[in-house]
């Protein structure tokens, strides 16, 4: 059996360290690039949100606006105070008042979470046409209305999109 010289061992160890360092550097660069997804600001009917680029507006008869991308969607419903008077909701009502109304109308006891001082949200899941979906429904108050903002995706994408949904909701501005 032939002996391996110290220089050969040093060269081999140096090579392994170099390949490992290069692999780590490439993976770090990939992660940095992956996190640099372009964002875009979307506006409609006094509502503004910043999300990943790639959403396009579609018509939905039951919504004030509807945006869709390849892996998620956003539905916005503007409910004017004057249209909520029969439910004792006025311009003096709070987010909690509106949250209670949503729970009452849907005969559910939603667990609203404070995202910030202007937005509360709750989550739920639903099966539609044999597909499982995850929903994050948020509420906020404008000068003449309450807004119900619903972001949703297929349930299999939930873990990746929940942090984005929260980030996007933190950018919401309403008139």
Q: How far apart are CA 34 and CA 130, in angstroms?
A: 31
Say if residue 32's pLDDT is above 50. Answer: no
- pLDDT class of 96 with cuts at 50, 70, 90: very high
Residue 5 above 90 pLDDT?
A: no
Tens-digit pLDDT profile for residues 102-157: 999 999 999 999 999 999 999 999 999 999 999 999 999 999 999 999 999 999 99
Q: Locate the domains of the chain by residue range.
A: 1-36, 38-174
Asked if 44 contacts 171 with a C-beta cutoff of 8 angstroms, the reply is: no
Beta bridge partners of 120: 114, 139
Dist CA 46 CA 37 (whole Å):
26
Mean pLDDT over each residue of the chain, to the nearest integer: 89
Task: Classify burial at 29, counting beta carbons within 10 Å of its beta carbon; exposed 0-12, middle 13-18, buried 19 or more.
Answer: exposed
- Percent of the chain's residues with pLDDT above 90: 79
- Which CA distances in Å does 59 have to 18, 53, 100, 166? 55, 19, 29, 24
Rounded distance, CA 96 to CA 139, Å? 10
User: Quick one: tokens of 161?
Assistant: 């999109």
Concatenating the DSSP letter of every residue in 119-145 gives -EEEEEEEEETTEEEEEEEEEEE-SSE
Predicted TM-score of the model (pTM): 0.79
Q: In the chain, pLDDT over 70 holds for what percent of residues?
A: 79
Q: Which two tokens stand for residue 29?
A: 């660069």
Task: Name the class of domain 38-174.
Answer: alpha beta
CA proximity to 64, closest of 49, 50, 85 = 49
pLDDT at 37: 82
Q: Which 8-state DSSP code applies to residue 91?
A: T
């Amino acid at each position: 059996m032939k002996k391996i010289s110290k220089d050969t061992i040093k060269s081999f160890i140096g090579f392994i360290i170099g390949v490992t360092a290069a692999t780590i550097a490439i993976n770090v660069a990939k992660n940095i690039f992956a996190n640099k997804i372009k964002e875009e600001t979307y506006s409609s009917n006094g509502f503004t949100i910043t999300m990943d680029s790639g959403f396009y507006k579609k018509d939905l008869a039951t919504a004030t606006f509807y945006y869709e991308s390849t892996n998620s969607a956003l539905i916005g419903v503007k409910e004017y105070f004057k249209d909520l008077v029969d439910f004792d909701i006025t311009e003096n009502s709070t987010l909690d008042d509106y949250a209670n109304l949503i729970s009452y109308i849907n005969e559910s006891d939603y667990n609203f979470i404070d995202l910030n001082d202007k937005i509360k949200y709750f989550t739920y899941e639903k099966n539609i046409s044999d597909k499982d979906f995850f929903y994050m429904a948020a509420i906020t108050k404008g000068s003449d209305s309450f807004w119900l903002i619903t972001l949703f995706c297929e349930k299999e994408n939930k873990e990746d999109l929940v942090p984005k949904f929260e980030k996007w909701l933190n950018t919401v501005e309403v008139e």
